[in-house]
Amino acid sequence: MRWLVAGLGNPGERYAATRHNVGVMVVEELAQRAGAHLRKARFLSALCAEANDGDEQVLLARSLQFMNESGPTFASLAKRRGLDAEHVIACHDDIDLQFGSLRVKFGGSTAGHHGLNSLVAALRTPNFHRVRLGVGRPPGRVETHPDWLLDRFTKRERPEVDLLVSDGADAVQSLIRYGLEATQDRFNRRDAGPR
């Protein structure tokens, strides 16, 4: 069986360590674990790495397009590999989860997340796996300003971010090895709140 793991985020050094790029961080962590290097894909605006997880073939990818335009890149990668949407795992930031929490789900609403909206439109279905990485909302604000998502994590937040990224990579590997139900039992934490 083959899988595509899509790390949602924005390209360039300016966005590398921002809240919006935590999904990309998970893909980079998985590449590091596999001893693989993300390289430019031929004819597509993406960086990709091949990895194996037991008998499973896994394509790790991040788009070089901005997040709200990244869906077609991932959909093209899936099509090239003959993958159905059910074998796509999107890793993405989620402001509706407390900072540091994690949830795994299949399908459902995008909750207005522009990267997910782009991916749903390109795949023509919402039915793919998601690893939701909690970045929370800024304190004292009802509305989340877009600039806040594009801010870098603070030094104080970095240890929790490192743990979140590691857990996110573990969750991806669990999805591939053990399936959705077992992964949800392990990773969907009570502190994440309902969705």
Give per-residue pLDDT as tens, 73-119: 999 999 999 999 999 999 999 999 999 999 999 999 999 999 999 99
Bigger pLDDT: 132 vs 148: 132
Q: Which domain holds residue 10?
A: 2-192
Cα 41 from Cα 76, distance rounded (Å): 11
Residue 139 is predicted with a pLDDT of 75
Known catalytic membership, residue 20: yes
Task: Flag whether pLDDT at 57 surpasses 60.
Answer: yes
pTM reported for the whole predicted model: 0.93
Residue 135 is predicted with a pLDDT of 93
Q: How confident is the model over 180-193, as a mean pLDDT?
A: 79
Domain count for the chain, please give it: 1
We report the CATH number of the domain holding residue 178 as 3.40.50.1470
Mean model confidence pLDDT for the chain: 92
Bigger pLDDT: 151 vs 85: 85
